[in-house]
Every structure is written in structure tokens, then in C-alpha cells.
Structure 1
Amino acid sequence: MNSKLRIFIICIGVAALLWFFNHMNRNYTVRVYFNINYQGLNFKLDDNVMSEVEADISGTGFSLLRYKRKSPQTIILQSKDFSYTKHRDSIYIKIIPEKIRNKIIEILPSSVHLESVQHDMFVLSYAEIISKDVPVFARFTLSNTEKCTQCESYKIRPEKINITGPPSILNKIDSAYTYPIKITNCDTFRQNVKLQIPKQIKSSTNFVNVFAVFCKENRVEKLLPYSIEHHGKNYSGNVKVVLLAPENDPDKKINIGLKSEILDNQIVFNIINQEGWKILKFSPKSIPIEI
């Protein structure tokens, strides 16, 4: 290679290098993407949530070239970066534009500047969900063929369940109930029973174990006479008591008494009960005092 050609090639190379350095020292604006990482949010995001954001950044060619080697970078959005608006059971969440711009500026090198953010206002929505513990009760329907009655208080496990759902529904629920349990014979009942839970509500369990004892009904009616003197006036009559005889001793002698007291211008009656007999009802429970 002769000297003239060598000098020509060197000149071309130097010119190209000077052109490159000259252009790389100029300012340019380019569009880049930032991934979004949601952290510490107290709600569940759906699959359509915005996962990246576009932004225009500026800087010298060298600065942008160095930055592009590290991109895309990730910005972290937390609960404090959103504003919240509630409508019925839904909560609408808006990103605060200033917050997302500050997040991008924090991760940009000092030689690169943020010019603008595309779609810096976006909205998320989700249904608010709350939960609470409620007691559980069993519901029985008794067949009249054998005239059964519940001999003692039933037992249910668990006694409480946790339910979760929208506040508009959950705030109206104070307890949970089983589907009606049909009792067809006088015997011991022990079974897992399904709970009657609204479709919009989730429960910690759908079944409870119910234990109850049913016996044949043996009703007895008894009249308890009363005669009470108050301020020179006599009040007399009968209190009708309906009792249930003990299952193991249906012929047991009835030994009950009547107690009365004066409260708020009324004579109030109470039944003194013998062990083994169950008082179903009595009337009257009180009578007025003439003033």
C-alpha cells in the first residue's frame, strides 16, 4: 500500500471518528420502557393490570447509549403512590402522575433527564372484601307423626365460622345457619350438615357437625290457682302451665308451684319447677293492678 492511500484512509478514519464524537455529544430524546413492580398493596391485582410504562428521556448520545445497556429498568409502586375512590363495594385506584414521574427520575442517572411520561394516569379497580367471625346455628323441622321434641340443647362444631365477602352483604349477616334438618323419628341425631351461605360469601367451612337428642313429646297441662290481696283488692284466677314429662319417667308426679311479685303496677308470675319437667309455656305471665 503506497503512502498516499494510507494517508487517505487515516484521514477518512479520523473524520469518521470526529463525526461520531461530535454527534454522540449532542442531545437526543428517545422513548424507553420501564417495568412496573407493585409491592405492599392490600388488594389483589387482575391479569390485565398495567405492567409497564413508556417515557421519553433525553441526554447526550453517550449517556443514552450507556443507559440503554441497562434497560429496561423497574419502578416500584406502593399503596402510597395511589389515590383511592370508593363506589359501593368497588374501590377505584388512580396512580398519582407526580409519583410515577418521581419514581422514574430516582432510577435515571444524572446525565439522563426525563422529558415526559406516556399514560401517566391509569386506573385500577377491585371489589372490597372484608371478613368476620359469626356464630353458627342449626335449624330443625320436626315431623308430627311421632310428636318429637328436642330434649336438650344441641351441640354444633365449630360454633363459629369465618366468612368473607363484600361489605354490603357481610354487614347484614350476624350469624350462619344450616339448611333445615328434617327430624322424622325420636332419636339421637349426629351428622355433618351443610351451611346455607349466600353465593357471594366465602366461608371457612361449608359443613358443621350437629349433635341433638329428640324424644317423644308427652305434654301435660296443669292449672295453678292464685289469690292475691293488694291495697284492699283481691286478684284471683288460674295460671295455665304446659309441661313436658320426663322421657325416662313419663308418670312422674307433677310437683310445681307458683310464685308472684309486684313489678311496675303488675303482678308477675313465675313457675317453681321440679327437676325433670320441662315448662313449655304458661299464661298469663302477668296481670295488671287496678290503680
Structure 2
Amino acid sequence: MGKKLQITLSEDRVILMVCIGIATLFWFFVKMSQTYQTSRTVNALYTLEPDQAFLILPPAEIKAYFSGTGWDLFYSYLTNPNPVIQLDAGDYPSNMVEPTLLKAKIKKVYNDRIEILDTEPRYILLEYQKAAEKKVPVRFVGEVTFANGYNLRSPIEIEPDSVRIRGPYSLIEAINYWETAPCPALNLKTTTELECALKVPETGEIHRFPPKVKVVIPVEAFTQKTLIVPITIKNAKDSVRLSFDHVKVDFVVGMSRFKTLTRSDFEFAVDFENVETYQDNNTLPITPVRIPEGISGLNFVPKSVEFFIVQPPRDTLPASQ
């Protein structure tokens, strides 16, 4: 008796599951036969004559709003997962893809049973003009920092140092150089090579050839050096003597130039151009006249010097009382 009851309960459960499955399928078919609204992104490709370029880039993506049955929408997703339309600027003499033309273009990539309700943007402006091309220098843009005791050995090198740019005539004419995209190099201790992309144009269709450049940042260790440099006397009308005839010069220099820099590369001077022989103040500032490039942290002492007249001319001596 118990076994017969168990068999009956199992059969009832199977029948229940079959009924639920049939109801689910029926519900699914009913739902898929109903009309729905949805949106999809449509990619847009544009073509121009070879001697033309876009002054303002048209949108690369268009958001399209659709209406159709669940079956039609599902089928469109399966058969065309990445819809693309192609727009030839020559087909639009008014330089505008109007809403009706844009919707018609999108509808061609779908089946006829799907309705295109609207697009975003609703229309597309095609602004272009004659193309021009020229060669411009490249400017490196990027934060460069060095580890303690290191710095640039020589100026940063860019290879190639210039690139060709091509785009609308009015934009190309106003460009005198092209920057790299931000290309940081931090805490450097050795010479470093970077591959830096060129900056993306802010407006218009501007192509860069090549699209990337190599940036070489020469790095070396720096150390302090001290030199004793004689003071030069300029524009002295009389024989003069200085309280100091030299300055002590401290500076920081790269190791590659440490031995080659000598005191002859520097010049410090006192200038008597506007100095009266018997002025009350007999102190003059010491001025750096020639300093080699590529050094930093320059300091020298003393900063001023006293002077004394050795042999003043007789006609300038003060009258005796």
C-alpha cells in the first residue's frame, strides 16, 4: 500500500513539472511576441576625398532608439552585435546628415520589422575643408625628477625631433610645434629611454606621422667642486689694488665634466665704470661675468671687495691746506 502511494505521488510531481514547463514556454512566446523599445550604440565611419579633412570631427558613435517585437530585437542582437554605418560626405551636399536620412541609414543594417524611433544626435554636421601638410618640431611634455645626487647630463633628446602633421588647412597653418602626451619619468638614476605618444588633437582631423617618438633623458651623478678664480678689474682709470684678488667658487657639476671645468671657464669682475676716485665708499660688488652652462648651486665668496688707489695722478690730489 505504501509503495503504491509513493508511485502515485511521483507521477503527480512529474505531471506538475511538465505543466509548469508548458506554461513557462507559453509565457515566453507571448512576451517575445510583444513590442518593446530599446536603444543601441551604432558605430559611424566617414569617408572624404583624399585632399579633404574634417574641420570638426563628427561623432564616431550614434545612440539609436528602436521599437520591435522581442523576437526581432533578439534576432538583431544575434546577427549584428556591432552595427556599423558608413557615411560618404560627398552624398550630402548640404554638409548635414538630416534626421530622416540618418534613421534610414541605420535602418538598412537591421531588418524591416524594426522601427528606428530616434537618434542621438538627431543629425550630423559634416564640416571639412582642403587638407594641408607640414613638418613641425616635437616638444616633450612630462614630469622628470631625479634621485638625490643625479641630474641631466645634457639636454633631452627626441627622435625624430620633428613630425609631419596633416589636417584642415586653417588648423595646420596655425600650428608651429606638436607636443607629446604627458610622459613622466620619475626618480631617475641612469639614462632613460621613453616611447611617448604624440598628443591627441584637441579639435579637427589631424594625423601625425609617426604617432610616437623616442625620448632619451641623459642622466649622470653630480658632485660639488671648488675653484679659486682670479678677479678681473674692468674700466679702472687709476692703478688700484684690491683687498682680495680672487674668489672661492663652489658649484655642483656632473661627473662627466668634473675634470674638464677649470677656473678659465669662469670670470668674476669688479667694474670701476661709474666709480669716483675719491668717493667715501671704497667697496665694490663682485659680479659673475662668465659662468659655464650645465652647473647648479653656484656660490662664491667674497661677494664684495675693498679697493685702494696705488698711484693717483698728481692733478687729482687734494690741495694741501
Per the shorter chain, which TM-score range? 0.3 to 0.5
Higher relative contact order (CA 8 A, sep 6+): 2
Larger relative helix fraction = 2
What TM-score do the two structures reach when normalised by structure 1?
0.40
What TM-score do the two structures reach when normalised by structure 2?
0.37
